[in-house]
Chain A
Amino acid sequence: MANMSETPQPGYNFAYLDEGSKRMIRRGLLKAVAIPGFQVPFGGREMPLPYGWGTGGIQVTASLITPEDVLKVIDQGADDTTNAVSIRQFFERVAGIASTTRTREATIVQTRHRIPETPLEPGQIMVFQVPIPEPLRFIEPSETETATLHALSDYGVMHVKLYEDIVRHGHIATCYAYPVEVNGRYVMDPSPIPRFDNPRLHMSPALMLFGAGRERRLYALPPHTEVVSLDFEDYPFEIQRPEAACAICGSTESYLDELIVDDAGTRRHVCSDTDYCQARVKAREAAA
């Protein structure tokens, strides 16, 4: 069930940001939606949390959220980590909105490093926290030059990186932030989601918004956008198959975290998506 919060904290504008800043960010988001995968600069505001903790995502959420919205926040798939809990409570207090841990109930899902296992639906909005929005940054330090490379679709160097992966590891070893080509045009960093989640970007019915606070960039995937993970013909993009079943819910389909559970080094695999995992456990109990 969604948790209903008390009325917003007095002394703050609804959802913390002033209306002018929200409008500015929304304008940026509109441009980002209009040009899928293109990085739109925006005037990032100071937020009451440090860079690297989701200042980009939180500004996107703040600019979009309405009193009727239901917010879910996850960090590496979990609703109950410090970062996720803090951001959720932040919006409960400054916007007085409802929050949830259930993917299906949420209208906005702010996330760090995962896409929920439960398929997203039309009308839902994903907000990604992004540390480094520029997929070309690893090879090109100059912003002017990367902007030019994007403008000219000059992306050969992305394949140089994947080629090197195969040289070093025998396969494409990039596991996180696996670069994608959006709508046949821009190469985009999908934020550090595992490449396991990359297929969920493709033709997603939900709107996907990306906010980088420190780098002050916004970008977006409108619903039903073609998103292709870069690869070679003879080394096609593949997702890692789960190595084991979840120790809690038994799922063999979901993305698993590996835990070392004792001093002897015993390893357990559990779902990274806590809501998905709990829902499966409840369903099993109900069936039993």
Chain B
Amino acid sequence: MNVRLRDAQPGAASQLEVPARALSGEKARPLLQVDDVCRLFGPEQGCQEVSFTLYPGEVLGLVGESGSGKSTLLSTLSGRLPPDRGRVRYRDGADWLDLYAAGEGRRRALLRTQWGFVEQNPRDGLRMSVSAGANIGERLMAQGARHYGRLRQCALEWLRHVEIDAARIDDTPETFSGGMRQRLQIARNLVSGPRLVFMDEPTGGLDVSVQARILDLLRNLVREFDLSVILVTHDLAVARLLADRLMVMRRSRIVESGLTDQILDDPQHPYTQLLVSSILQV
């Protein structure tokens, strides 16, 4: 069979393609607006002078070494740690919600419906003593789902999404491997159809072979569900694979930001150059 590019001509292509709307409509409107956020525990410890805009469907990587303030920034962005100064605003439909000016109830509701948080250690993000099915169903139950059969159907569907054998639905995560636990945690977060997911070193504690699987899974899920992600990682290979763009943190400040491959292939800031040149080539 011979491929002819005739069907790839602009006219013909329009029958196959979704019209290019990347920068128009819903996607053109920011999802998260961060203005001069500062949370310090000591001089240059924590994060400061952080401002950026996140758009729907964007995967933003926060990279930098330990102690650079990545995790503090993530906590502040995700509603877990009020900033000393500055504002985090989230667009919920047509309304802008000031995260820390909003009530606790609104913030929590947001955290368990439109947002997700994938912890580095799945023990922190899962209920270890209840079954995988209940772990997945909890967000739905919190939103009022009251049909056991449908909750199970949904749990089974999500186990499939994260490549966990359906037969394990009634087992507790205590009996799961580290990689399975992490995949279960991902399912538990995504079941509510969040628009924005925070991830703190999601592959941090895992073996390399297990990491690859999680990364592949995350890549596909991000695309399939059109998620916006803010990802903290110190692993630049993970950042390259998952992130559309990067912010490089050093001593509580963003020192450089830009397109992921541009930051990694043509770093401008001396610190980024050091960081990138320190990667071992395999």
Contact = CB atoms under 8 A, between A and B. Distances in A.
B179 to A, nearest CB: 23
Interface in B101-118: 104-105, 108-109, 112
Interface string A147-168: 0100110111101100110110
Q: Majority SS of interface residues in chain B? A: helix
A157 B143 CA distance: 11
B212 interface: no
B170 A233 contact: no
A157 to B, nearest CB: 7
Interface string B138-156: 1101110011110100000
A163 B108 contact: no
B105 A159 contact: no
A235 interface: yes
Interface string B174-216: 0000000000000000000000000000000000000000000
Interface in B200-249: none
Contacts, number: 56
B147 A163 contact: no
Contact of B134 (A152, A154, A163, A232): A163
A152 B147 contact: no
A163 B141 contact: yes
Contacts of B138: 156-157, 160
Which of B105, B139, B148, B149 is packed against the most chain A CB atoms within 10 Å? B148
Interface in A111-159: 139, 148, 151-152, 154-157, 159
A234 interface: yes
Interface in A234-284: 234-235
Given A155-B142, A157-B141, 16 more contacts: A151-B104, A151-B105, A152-B108, A156-B112, A160-B130, A160-B138, A163-B130, A163-B134, A163-B137, A164-B131, A166-B148, A231-B146, A232-B146, A232-B148, A232-B151, A234-B149
